[in-house]
Amino acid sequence: MVIRRYWRIAVFAPFVGFLLAAGVAVVMTNAGSGETEFRFWFVVRSMASYGVIGLVIGAVALLGGLAAVAIADRHLAKSRRRRVTVAALGAMGGVVMLSVAVAAVLSLLDDGLYAGITIAFGVAFGAAASVVAAVMVLYAERLSR
């Protein structure tokens, strides 16, 4: 039942993550400041790199959100507001858990200096993923009625 209602999210969430991260790459590399060919390919490579990271974050947020909705409301009998809230919290939880796992690996590799900032970025990306997840679940709920 959960998959039947949220299949659109399962298809589009990784692509939305890719596009959002690619947009962040354009903003961070300041694409409008230069007209050289080198600058263009630098922006393209940055968009691809950030996009892959966004794809992974989108997939993890998808898994976290769907798992949270499946646990909290298996038969989709509770209110729409609860499902949207649970999906947003699950998406954020999934992204934060990923960042904690990456921070643990960094600490094991004697690169623990970056562990704290990795978790901080995970919280920031999780907040963005929770907003996107809430919007996508709300849209799926409206389509199902």
pLDDT at 34: 57
pLDDT at 108: 92
CB 33 within 8 A of CB 71: no
pLDDT at 24: 86
Supply φ then ψ for residue 125, to 5 degrees.
Answer: -70, -35
pLDDT at 65: 92
* Res. 33: pLDDT tops 70: no
Q: Three-state DSSP class for 145?
A: coil
Instruction: Give me the DSSP letters along 62-129.
Output: HHHHHHHHHHH-TTS-S-HHHHHHHHHHHHHHHHHHHHHHHHHHHHHTT-GGGHHHHHHHHHHHHHHH
Q: For the chain, state the CA radius of gyration.
A: 17
What would the pLDDT profile of 38-93 be if each residue is shown by its tens digit? 677 788 888 899 999 999 999 999 999 999 998 998 777 788 899 999 999 999 99
- Per-residue pLDDT band at 19 (split at 50, 70, 90): very high
* Res. 31: pLDDT tops 60: no
CA distances from 67 to 20, 75, 78, 113 (A): 23, 13, 16, 32
- Only one residue has tokens 């499946």, namely 70
- Per-residue pLDDT band at 125 (split at 50, 70, 90): very high
pLDDT at 95: 96
Neighbours of 39 (CB within 10 A): 15
Q: Mean pLDDT, the chain, as a whole number?
A: 88
Please tell me the distance from the alpha carbon of residue 124 to that of residue 43, in angstroms, as a whole number.
Answer: 23
